[in-house]
Amino acid sequence: MKRTMTASALLLGTLIAIALPATAQERDPAYAAARAAGQIGELPDGYIGVVGTPTKDLSALVNKINIQRKAVYTQKSAASGSTVEEMAFTTGCNLILKTAPGEKYRDPAGNWQTRTAAPPKRDPRCV
Protein backbone atom coordinates (compact mmCIF):
# COMPACT_ATOMS: atom_id res chain seq x y z
CA MET A 1 0.00 0.00 0.00
CA LYS A 2 2.79 2.43 0.94
CA ARG A 3 4.62 1.70 -2.34
CA THR A 4 1.42 2.44 -4.28
CA MET A 5 0.90 5.73 -2.46
CA THR A 6 4.50 6.74 -3.07
CA ALA A 7 4.19 5.85 -6.77
CA SER A 8 0.99 7.89 -6.93
CA ALA A 9 2.73 10.81 -5.22
CA LEU A 10 5.59 10.57 -7.71
CA LEU A 11 3.25 10.62 -10.69
CA LEU A 12 1.13 13.46 -9.36
CA GLY A 13 4.22 15.35 -8.19
CA THR A 14 5.59 15.19 -11.71
CA LEU A 15 2.28 16.43 -13.10
CA ILE A 16 2.19 19.28 -10.57
CA ALA A 17 5.75 20.28 -11.42
CA ILE A 18 4.73 20.49 -15.05
CA ALA A 19 1.59 22.46 -14.21
CA LEU A 20 3.01 24.86 -11.60
CA PRO A 21 4.71 27.19 -14.10
CA ALA A 22 1.29 27.90 -15.59
CA THR A 23 -0.04 29.08 -12.24
CA ALA A 24 -0.39 32.64 -11.02
CA GLN A 25 3.13 32.63 -9.55
CA GLU A 26 4.67 32.57 -13.02
CA ARG A 27 2.46 35.42 -14.19
CA ASP A 28 3.50 37.57 -11.22
CA PRO A 29 6.16 40.03 -12.43
CA ALA A 30 7.58 40.34 -8.91
CA TYR A 31 8.09 36.56 -8.76
CA ALA A 32 9.73 36.48 -12.19
CA ALA A 33 12.01 39.40 -11.30
CA ALA A 34 13.05 37.92 -7.93
CA ARG A 35 13.73 34.54 -9.50
CA ALA A 36 15.77 36.06 -12.34
CA ALA A 37 17.74 38.17 -9.85
CA GLY A 38 18.58 35.12 -7.74
CA GLN A 39 16.70 36.49 -4.73
CA ILE A 40 14.49 33.41 -4.41
CA GLY A 41 15.06 29.77 -5.23
CA GLU A 42 13.53 26.31 -5.20
CA LEU A 43 13.71 24.22 -2.04
CA PRO A 44 13.83 20.42 -1.96
CA ASP A 45 10.57 20.33 -0.02
CA GLY A 46 8.57 21.80 -2.93
CA TYR A 47 8.44 25.37 -1.71
CA ILE A 48 10.52 28.45 -2.46
CA GLY A 49 12.87 30.30 -0.17
CA VAL A 50 14.62 33.63 0.05
CA VAL A 51 18.28 33.57 -0.92
CA GLY A 52 20.20 35.96 1.30
CA THR A 53 18.67 38.61 3.52
CA PRO A 54 14.88 38.78 3.19
CA THR A 55 13.10 42.07 2.69
CA LYS A 56 9.51 42.62 3.80
CA ASP A 57 8.25 42.50 0.21
CA LEU A 58 10.30 39.44 -0.70
CA SER A 59 9.12 37.56 2.39
CA ALA A 60 5.50 38.41 1.59
CA LEU A 61 5.93 37.21 -1.99
CA VAL A 62 7.51 33.92 -0.89
CA ASN A 63 4.81 33.36 1.74
CA LYS A 64 2.04 34.02 -0.80
CA ILE A 65 3.49 31.59 -3.33
CA ASN A 66 4.17 28.92 -0.74
CA ILE A 67 0.57 29.15 0.48
CA GLN A 68 -0.60 28.67 -3.12
CA ARG A 69 1.72 25.70 -3.57
CA LYS A 70 0.58 24.07 -0.33
CA ALA A 71 -3.03 24.39 -1.43
CA VAL A 72 -2.21 22.55 -4.67
CA TYR A 73 -0.22 19.87 -2.83
CA THR A 74 -3.05 19.39 -0.33
CA GLN A 75 -5.64 18.98 -3.06
CA LYS A 76 -3.51 16.61 -5.14
CA SER A 77 -2.39 14.51 -2.18
CA ALA A 78 -6.00 13.97 -1.11
CA ALA A 79 -6.82 12.78 -4.62
CA SER A 80 -3.84 10.40 -4.75
CA GLY A 81 -3.89 9.00 -1.23
CA SER A 82 -0.40 10.32 -0.50
CA THR A 83 0.62 12.84 2.14
CA VAL A 84 1.06 16.55 1.52
CA GLU A 85 4.74 16.14 2.39
CA GLU A 86 5.22 13.33 -0.15
CA MET A 87 3.51 15.37 -2.84
CA ALA A 88 5.52 18.49 -2.02
CA PHE A 89 8.84 16.61 -1.90
CA THR A 90 8.25 14.86 -5.22
CA THR A 91 7.25 18.12 -6.83
CA GLY A 92 10.30 19.83 -5.29
CA CYS A 93 12.57 17.23 -6.88
CA ASN A 94 11.05 17.95 -10.25
CA LEU A 95 11.02 21.74 -9.87
CA ILE A 96 14.72 21.73 -8.99
CA LEU A 97 15.38 19.59 -12.05
CA LYS A 98 13.50 22.16 -14.16
CA THR A 99 15.51 25.16 -12.93
CA ALA A 100 17.25 27.03 -15.72
CA PRO A 101 20.93 27.98 -15.71
CA GLY A 102 21.40 31.00 -13.47
CA GLU A 103 18.44 30.18 -11.20
CA LYS A 104 18.90 29.32 -7.53
CA TYR A 105 18.03 26.11 -5.70
CA ARG A 106 18.96 24.58 -2.37
CA ASP A 107 21.02 21.39 -2.51
CA PRO A 108 20.60 18.41 -0.14
CA ALA A 109 23.28 19.82 2.19
CA GLY A 110 21.20 23.00 2.64
CA ASN A 111 23.41 25.29 0.56
CA TRP A 112 22.12 27.60 -2.12
CA GLN A 113 23.43 26.70 -5.55
CA THR A 114 23.24 28.52 -8.86
CA ARG A 115 22.12 26.19 -11.60
CA THR A 116 24.65 25.65 -14.37
CA ALA A 117 24.34 23.58 -17.53
CA ALA A 118 25.14 20.53 -15.37
CA PRO A 119 22.35 18.60 -13.65
CA PRO A 120 21.42 20.08 -10.25
CA LYS A 121 22.46 18.40 -7.01
CA ARG A 122 19.26 16.77 -5.75
CA ASP A 123 18.25 14.58 -2.85
CA PRO A 124 19.16 10.95 -3.56
CA ARG A 125 15.51 9.99 -3.03
CA CYS A 126 14.58 11.99 -6.14
CA VAL A 127 13.99 9.79 -9.16
The answer to whether residue 127 sits within a structural domain is no
Q: What is the pLDDT, as a whole number, of residue 22?
A: 47
pLDDT-based confidence at 5, cuts 50/70/90? very low
Q: Which domain holds residue 64?
A: 2-114
Q: Is residue 63 part of a domain?
A: yes
Q: Which of 116, 127, 40, 65 is nearest to 90 (CA)?
A: 127
Answer whether 91's CB lies under 8 Å from 16's CB: yes
In a domain, 91, yes or no: yes
pLDDT in tens, 29-69: 999 999 999 999 999 999 999 999 999 999 999 999 999 99
pLDDT level of residue 11 (50, 70, 90 thresholds) = low
Q: How far apart are CA 90 and CA 105, in angstroms?
A: 15
How far is the C-alpha of 52 from the C-alpha of 38, rounded, in Å? 9
> Is position 122 within any domain?
no
Domain contains 78: yes
Q: Is residue 28 scored above 50 in pLDDT?
A: yes
Q: Record the pTM.
A: 0.80
Question: Is residue 49 assigned to a domain?
Answer: yes
Number of domains in the chain: 1
Q: Which of 18-22, 59-63, 74-78, 115-119 has the least mean pLDDT?
A: 18-22
Cβ atoms of 58 and 76 within 8 Å: the answer is: no
Segment 17-35 shows an average pLDDT of 70
Does residue 18 lie within any of the structural domains? yes
In a domain, 102, yes or no: yes
